[in-house]
Structure 1
């Protein structure tokens, strides 16, 4: 068949951008298809009233080995290397200092047990102390870290990430989403607002059905989220069922962000952090005046994110303001107003935050990463064995999948004569 491209990339998030960057200068024609009307996927910097915020990924985790740092420096994006304020509860608000110390120690102890004596069940919750005083606190942290409660989290998967992390966390002042969106090679053929509706394998390539017509390519790199892979929005080849089953074992957790604008001054110190409540698994985590900006970022995970999804943004904002007023005093209500919020779970082409492995399912990451008949290649944060849930993990898998696709095409010359149309 006549090709529209040698390689089509499904998705223009961090993995799709990584794949496109790997294919630059190879002589292969590349076409990126993105269902959203923008580049970046779960990386999205938005600006309003002169304030830029990251609705998706915001921290360059394992920054000292994160490839996005090198990319940022190459193109002149300023990186903020100051330490995040997560490590302490500002002013010990909400509970006595000894309770905050005990809660953090309980998390450290649980983490050590998980690594040293992993439970046979592979359920992260089975490393908890029975009836432990700080279980609600640990469940809240699990929501932020993994997007779900500990009973549904693979201990092996959690430890794999933890052991690989360097725990260096930096930021891009212009926004992580801005960096990723601007890093797609300028000469890449890109079709935004073009969802793929069906993937069909042909004798000599792949056909991708879209509302704008069928795209024909020699190979395709799939960077769709596990929600999309396991769902019904795209019709997949029947032989892909094992890949789709792997995706169901790597669901997307629930993670959302709310931003409150600070009007006037208020008792809010820049680069400080508070947890709304020490004993509530659904509580918000609040990062105050990030990079000195007049906002408070409320990060919701697990139970908190599900509540926001069920009740709507208005109720979520009200709950966040209530928690902050409970910590800082009722007077802060007058200087906080809703600013911006994410809605990842309700975005059909994404469907949640980032992937976690169910108990016993950590090997599914490698299973999902396998090529299919040397024509479909899989990338995305869920396919990284250790750096899942991160933009740099997604980027690295895009680079890996692009290399696999190039190798396969080298062994499978085009049957279309003159080659792709570009």
Structure 2
């Protein structure tokens, strides 16, 4: 049986950060990753468009205090400083919105978040849908952004959880890929990929971690997998996790967020090389809004990346890749002309909800249950430690929240086990 001080389960942003800290502090450890790559929900793909396409995280949220921004600077990893998340273009089906319409739409979006956050700051832990009342013309756009940033629908989003999220308002896209940045940050951490942890026995002193390759005995284990993997029993705990931890995991599920990327063989008229646009069809009230990031592929031609969240994302992902592409392409065809459908070069979609190692997007506390998230960062019997974005009350759903949680868990593990 292999023996070590600490086993880290998962090599995403949290697991890699834990490994970095343990290595820097001369601890004996193993990082085990079930996938054949590192990064977890941070994954940059260059194989389809010849330029970075982030399947998962892409934005340096709260950039001025985001540790990955400092890492990017040190590595020369490029990002774009944006003054606002507001899109420079908005299309109302086949008509570009006026400046006044864009202003009204974005005020509705910001007003929706402000209403939900205000309720939370007043101590109300209710569904965002109970306090958000956007003007009718922009309701679908406001709901789209609520879904996108929380991964669940407004009636599933806790206002208190939303209010606790610490946001400087700086959201900067990582041009060279956030997944590539996470991998570069953890490049010195030794990781055993393709090793799935099936069980963790914490019944006695220390822990025993079971894998298909054998057992590992350690003084502590840091578990960084998603709350959905934990809730589904993807890792068996012996004995089972304490009820308050299990309740906290169930209270903060990973919702749904997917991307649809489409490249074209001609420019999209009226757009800058890097552009951001929102789309709404005012003639079809049942059709959800969708936003796009547009940037050049390796040939200098546009790639449009549509973002889906919440129930819209769930339903389209379950319908399959073709349905996802059709939905996004129709919005672009409406905006830029019917011939655009014949100018598609390449397509790619994400399928996080179907990935058995992830099973969703990022966490969101359910209404009335925000307080339970705080339990996730507490040690279990001083030998089992949870990490990952869901364990960060102020930076959940983000890569930097995951990184900070990994550093926290590593410090806790070493301190608790008196290593």
Decide which moves more: 49-58 or 233-242: 233-242
Give the Cα separation in 2 of the matches to 1:332 and 1:319: 14
- Checking the alignment, whether the CA contact within 8 Å between 1:81 and 1:170 is kept in structure 2 is yes
CA distance in 1, matches of 2:116, 2:173: 29
Instruction: Report how far residue 117 of structure 1 moved.
Output: 4.2
The whole-number CA distance in structure 2 between the counterparts of 1:84 and 1:103 is 14
The structural deviation recorded for 1:134 is 3.5
1:53 is matched with 53
2:367 to 339, 352, 359: 359
1:160 aligns with 2:168: no
Task: Describe the shift of the 1:80–1:275 C-alpha distance in structure 2 as closer, same or farther (beyond 3 A).
Answer: closer
Classify the secondary structure of the residue corresponding to 1:269.
coil
User: Is residue 320 of structure 1 aligned with residue 328 of structure 2?
Assistant: yes
TM superposition score normalised by structure 1:
0.90
- Partner residue, 1:416: none
What is the CA–CA distance in structure 1 between the aligned matches of 2:400 and 2:296, rounded to whole Å?
Answer: 21
Change (3 A) 1:144 1:104: same
1:252 equivalent in structure 2: 254
**Which residue in the other structure is 1:143 paired with?**
147
Q: For the Cα contact (< 8 Å) 2:125–2:160, is it kept in 1?
A: no
Following superposition, the deviation at residue 346 of structure 1 comes to 0.3
State the partner residue of 1:420.
none
Q: Which moved more, 1:370-379 or 1:338-347?
A: 338-347
Q: Which residue of 2 aligns with 1:283?
A: 289
The Cα of 1:254 is off from its aligned counterpart by: 0.5
Aligned to 1:240: 242
Q: Distance in 2 between matches of 1:109 and 1:265?
A: 34
User: Separation in 2 of the partners of 1:121 and 1:390?
Assistant: 22
Say whether residues 1:75 and 2:75 are aligned partners.
Answer: yes
CA-based RMSD of the aligned residues comes to 2.3
Q: How far 1:74 sits from its partner (Å)?
A: 2.2
CA distance in 2, matches of 1:391, 1:130: 30
Q: Check conservation: 2:292, 2:307, Cα contact below 8 A.
A: yes
Offset from partner CA, 1:276-297 (integer Å, 9 cap, x none): 3155563321111269763111
Q: Which runs of 5+ in 2 are unaligned?
A: none
* Cα distance change on mapping 1:121 and 1:130 into 2, 3 Å: farther
| TM-score of the aligned structures, taking structure 2 as reference length | 0.90
Structure 1 residues 67-146: aligned runs within 5 Å = 67-83=67-83, 86-90=86-90, 94=95, 96-97=97-98, 98-118=100-120, 120=124, 122-129=126-133, 132-146=136-150
1:115–1:130 distance in 2 versus 1, CA, 3 Å: closer
CA distance in 2, matches of 1:21, 1:356: 27
Structure 1 residue ranges without an equivalent (≥5): 414-422
1:396 aligned partner: 404
| Aligned partner of residue 238 in structure 1, secondary structure | coil
Q: Which residue of 1 aligns with 2:209?
A: 208
The alpha carbon displacement at 1:107 in A equals 2.5
Deviations 1:254-281 (A, max 9, x none): 1001110121334243222222315556
Which whole-Å CA distance do the structure 2 matches of 1:136 and 1:359 have between them? Answer: 21
Q: For 2:111 and 2:292, locate their aligned partners in 1 and report how far apart those are by CA, in whole Å.
A: 24
**Is residue 63–residue 168 contact of structure 1 (8 Å, CA) maintained in 2?**
yes
1:310-364 deviation per Cα after TM superposition (whole angstroms, max 9, x unaligned): 2101121112111111111112222224422111000011111110010111112
SS of residue matched to 1:170: strand
Farther-moved stretch of structure 1 (248-257 vs 110-119): 110-119
1:83 & 1:226 partners in 2: Cα distance?
33
> Post-superposition shift, 1:82?
4.2
Alignment equivalent of 1:262, drawn from 261, 264, 275: 264
Q: State the SS of the aligned residue for 2:197.
A: coil
Separation of aligned partners in 2, 1:155 and 1:341: 30
Q: Counterpart of 2:370 in 1: which secondary structure?
A: coil
Cα 1:42–1:173 shift into 2, 3 Å: same
The SS at the match of 2:280 is coil
Distance 1:172 1:287, change over 3 A: closer
